[in-house]
A and B are shown apart, each in its own frame.
Chain A
């Protein structure tokens, strides 16, 4: 094969017998977490496939820390992460209605002003 690419011409492509993958075996799937700055949350950013956690970290660095700022990366086996089923999403449905958990639900200024007005009138 004559290519415009000198690197391709250096390959001994005649050596290739089947050039296929063996799909009956797989590497481990790792979930990758990224921390942008000290003090920031570590957040999920994607996955890599690797045979060991050390290689997973190297690949995660190449994939998710090529530019911008990074202080650390974490990897965890996908099988070690437990999640709710997406069918159970409704268990969170009423949470936004629980306004008694929000600071905005506690407004007293009007009551204070009313009290002060009435108090003054009394004196």
Chain B
């Protein structure tokens, strides 16, 4: 699961290819235009490498941190079958993090350096994981809607130009289809259950509605565009397009259960575009910059894990070992 990468104004300004060799750049862009994939050993513009690395690294961190809100409920799953499913899902998310770190490593940054940058706050991860999972119904909503949103994003990104990222995403999407189905199963079970079960589900939907709208990043009119990134197939769809696709696919699946969204303005207009109230983009910025309800806890848990497990790591290390970039 993952939220889409937000390209800031500063990043768009830094997109500069004037110092690249024009011949190589042309051949590179031709290759992408023909639908060919770029592989780790190939020549690539510095900005392509930088943007992809940042994007895949953020994606990897999101998988690792994303396991924390869900892990909250492993000890208190309502029955054994749900517990098995939740453990399997959380393990998958960590596995996805590993796959993505591997893909990012092929661009020339070590996994250790990426983890370091997560711990020191230099690298970001998806905002949605800075919200708490208050009840079991949150697990249902995360499994169905957060993973549903992630799949929209990941299916689109799997058509990108960088081979290792595409291969990781294909495997991830395959596994996430189980996450989505078990999440839907969980949501339907609560929605068709007792009054209390319906109430906690409605409450969870009310709380996750805004973070879900934030998930795909700021509206297109507020975010920096980079035609280069589109041309290089690093970014494949706009934030608004992905958000609309998500709403189109998932809103009806909640409404059919007679559960509502906390937004009187949520509706599909005659052009097939979903309209909704302003989901407070200031809050989005606050959470990115560390002000969300769980930012501090998420990083504190990661720091604890690094420090408490350090002795194991050190026992395993061979000081003579040199870091080797993976092949593919």
Residues of chain A whose beta carbon lies under 8 Å from any beta carbon of chain B: 1, 3-8, 11, 13, 15-23, 25-29, 31, 44, 46-51, 55, 62-63, 66-67, 77-79, 81, 83, 85-87
Contacts of B306 in A (CB 8 A): 19-21
Contacts of A23 in B (CB 8 A): 110, 112-113, 116
A25-B297 contact, Cβ under 8 Å, with A5-B71, A16-B303, A20-B116: no
Docked-complex contact B307 and A18, CB < 8 angstroms: yes
User: In the bound complex, how far is the Cα of B102 from the Cα of A78, in angstroms?
Assistant: 13
Main secondary structure, interface of B, reads helix
User: In the bound complex, how far is the Cα of B287 from the Cα of A81, in angstroms?
Assistant: 44
Contact partner of A46 (CB less than 8 A), chosen from B102, B301, B321, is B102
Number of residues on chain B facing chain A (CB within 8 A): 52
Contact partner of B304 (CB less than 8 A), chosen from A6, A11, A22, A78, is A11
Contacts of B327 in A (CB 8 A): 31, 47, 78, 81, 83
Docked-complex contact A26 and B110, CB < 8 angstroms: yes
Q: Which of B54-107 contact A (CB under 8 A)?
A: 68, 71-72, 74-76, 88, 91-92, 95, 98-99, 102
- Can you name 19 extra interface pairs (CB under 8 A) apart from A20-B307, A23-B113, A78-B324? A1-B300, A4-B134, A5-B71, A6-B76, A7-B72, A7-B75, A8-B72, A8-B301, A15-B308, A20-B116, A21-B306, A22-B310, A26-B323, A29-B325, A31-B326, A47-B326, A49-B111, A62-B95, A83-B41
Residues of chain B whose beta carbon lies under 8 Å from any beta carbon of chain A: 39, 41-42, 68, 71-72, 74-76, 88, 91-92, 95, 98-99, 102, 110-113, 115-116, 119-120, 132-134, 175, 296-297, 300-304, 306-308, 310, 314, 316-319, 321-328
Closest 10 CB pairs of A and B: A19-B303, A86-B41, A51-B316, A26-B323, A5-B72, A23-B112, A47-B326, A29-B324, A78-B324, A21-B116
